[in-house]
Amino acid sequence: MSCALLPAHTSYRSAVNNLSVSRVGRQQRLTNRRPQRTGSSVISNVATAPLPPPADISRPARPQQLEQPDLSQSPPFTLSDLKRAIPQHCWQKNTAKSVSYLVKDVAIVAGLAVAAYSANTWWAWPLYWMAQGTMFWALFVVGHDCGHQSFSSNKKINDLVGNITHSSILVPYHGWRISHRTHHSNHGHVENDESWHPVSKKLYDGMDPLARIGRLTFPISMLAFPFYLMSRSPGKQGSHYDPEADLFVQSEAPLIKTSNRFLMGMWAVLAGFTVALGPLAMFNLYFVPYWINVMWLDAVTYLHHHGPEDDSKIPWYRGEEWSYLRGGLSTIDRDYGIFNKIHHDIGTHVLHHLFPQMPHYNLEEATEAVKPVMKEYYRVPEKSKGPIPFHLWGHLSRSFTEDHFVDDTGDIVYYQKDPEFGANLKASQKKQQHA
C-alpha cells in the first residue's frame, strides 16, 4: 500500500496506523497456525524473530551415551541388600521335596540300566552312555547340595545322602565337600580359590608338559576331575582321600575315613556286578557313563568361572581388592537347555555361590528377585537356541584357547593368552625327553 493512493482527508498518522494494523492482522493469521507462547502479546509476537522451520522443531535430541560400569569394582549394593530382596520362602528347605528329586534320579538310573542291558544292541549302548552319564552327573549335584546342607535342615540326613550319592559315582563326599567349601569361601581369588582357579605366569612357566595338557588343553581337560581328587590343582598339594592332607584340619580326619569306607563299599558292589554280569557289561553299564559324568562335571564347573558370553574377561582378585561379594559376582550363570531341570538348576550359579545354603528348587525365583538390585552386575546368560546347549561349546573352546595365565602381581587381574602355547608345549616335551 502506498501513501499516494490514500484519500486526501487521511492523515499521515492514520496511514501509519492502518499499515500497522494490516501487518498485525497478517501476522496473527500466520501465528495462529503455530503454537502460541504462554503470556506473549500480539505485539511481542510481531517483534520477535521468526520461529525455526518445523523440521528443526521436530528434530529429536541426541541421546546421551551411558557409560558402562566397571564390573571389576565394588558394586553399589551389599550382600545384605541382595538377601533382603529374596522372598523369605526361598530360604526354606523341604526334605520331602529334595528326597523326591533323588528318588526320581535313582529310578531313571535304574530304568536306563535295565533297558540298555535288556536291549544289548550296538545302537542302544551309545544312547545309554550319554543318558546315563548325564544322570550320574545329576546324582553328583544331589550330593553337592547335601555338601552345602541345602538338601535338608538335618545335617545327618545331608551327610548320609551325600555319602551314598557321591560314593555311587566314586567321589569321596567329605573330602570333596570340605575342599568345595574352601572354593566357595574364596571364589574369585587367584591363589586361595580351590578349583579351576587361574595359574600365575610364574607357575605357568614352570608347569611340566603333562600338567599343561591336563589343565589347559581342551578337550583333555574335561577328564581332569579324578586327577584333581588325587592331587588337586596346579600349585597345590594333597589328596581328597588322605585324612592327613593339608586340605583338612585334624578334627575332620574321621569324616574323610568315613567317606573312604563308603567308597570301598561301592568298589565291592562294582566288583560283585562285574563277576555276575561280566567285564564287558560293566564297562558299558557303568564305566563309560562314569567318564561322561566326569566330562559334564568338568565342563559345567569350568563354564561357571570362565568364558563369559559377551567375550569380555572375568576379573580375578588378590589382596584387599578381593571380597566375598566381588568374588561371587565374578561367577557366571549358564543356560543348559533341556538339562537345566535334569541337573537341578545348577546353571543358576551366581546366586548359588553367594548363598550356597539355598535349595536348588528356589534358585531361579531368587535370581529373578535380585536382578533389579544387581543390574549390570548380573551377566544375563545366553539362551540355548534348542534343547541341546550347543552354544556353550564355542565359549568353552574359546576360553581354553585364550585363558592361560594371569599376572604374578596386581590385585585385579585377567586371563592372558600365550600366543605360543602349542609351540611352547612341544618344546617342553622335547626338553623333558632329553633331560
pLDDT category at 67 given cuts 50, 70, 90 is: low
Answer yes or no: is pLDDT of 14 > 60: no
- Give whole-number Cα distances, 276 to 245, 280, 365, in Å: 37, 11, 47
**Residue 267 cell numbers, joined:** 568298589
Least confident of 26-35, 83-92, 259-268: 26-35
What confidence score (pLDDT) does residue 217 get?
85
pLDDT category at 291 given cuts 50, 70, 90 is: very high
What confidence score (pLDDT) does residue 188 get?
94
Least confident of 46-55, 184-193, 224-233, 325-334: 46-55
Ranges of beta strands (E only) in 265-416 are 316-317, 412-413
pTM of the prediction?
0.81
CB atoms inside a 10 Å sphere around CB 155: 10
Answer yes or no: is pLDDT of 128 > 60: yes
pLDDT category at 65 given cuts 50, 70, 90 is: very low
Q: What is the pLDDT of residues 398-422, one digit of tens each?
A: 898 899 999 999 999 999 998 887 6
Q: Is the peptide bond before 226 cis (omega within 30 degrees of 0)?
A: no
CA distance 276 to 271: 9
**Residue 54 cell numbers, joined:** 518445523
Between residues 101 and 5, which one has the greater pLDDT? 101
pLDDT category at 31 given cuts 50, 70, 90 is: very low
The residue-averaged pLDDT of 99-122 equals 97
What confidence score (pLDDT) does residue 431 get?
56
What confidence score (pLDDT) does residue 433 get?
57
CB atoms inside a 10 Å sphere around CB 164: 19
What confidence score (pLDDT) does residue 423 get?
63
What confidence score (pLDDT) does residue 213 get?
82
Which amino acid belongs to residue 101?
Y
Instruction: Give the list of residues 6+ apart from residue 173 with CB closer than 8 angstroms, or none.
Output: 143, 146, 147, 159, 162, 163, 165, 166, 167, 259, 262
CA distance 21 to 13: 12
- Helical axes 124-147 vs 155-167, angle rounded to 10°: 150
CA distance 311 to 332: 13
The residue-averaged pLDDT of 315-327 equals 96
What confidence score (pLDDT) does residue 21 get?
41
Answer yes or no: is pLDDT of 272 > 50: yes
For the chain, the distance separating the N- and C-terminal CA atoms, rounded to the nearest angstrom, is: 112
pLDDT category at 366 given cuts 50, 70, 90 is: very high
pLDDT category at 184 given cuts 50, 70, 90 is: very high
**Residue 411 cell numbers, joined:** 590385585
CA distance 221 to 239: 19
CA distance 297 to 276: 30
Answer yes or no: is pLDDT of 58 > 70: no
* Residue 332 exposed, middle or buried by CB count within 10 Å (0-12, 13-18, 19+): buried
**Residue 16 cell numbers, joined:** 501509519
336 CA to centre of own chain: 11
The residue-averaged pLDDT of 173-199 equals 94
CA distance 40 to 245: 88
CA distance 317 to 286: 40
pLDDT category at 307 given cuts 50, 70, 90 is: confident
Smallest CA-to-CA distance from 68 within 379, 405, 432 is with: 379
What confidence score (pLDDT) does residue 235 get?
76
CA distance 290 to 139: 11
What confidence score (pLDDT) does residue 69 get?
78
CA distance 242 to 40: 90
Instruction: Give the list of residues 6+ apart from residue 215 with CB closer than 8 angstroms, or none.
Output: 199, 207, 221, 224, 233, 234
Answer yes or no: is pLDDT of 319 > 90: yes
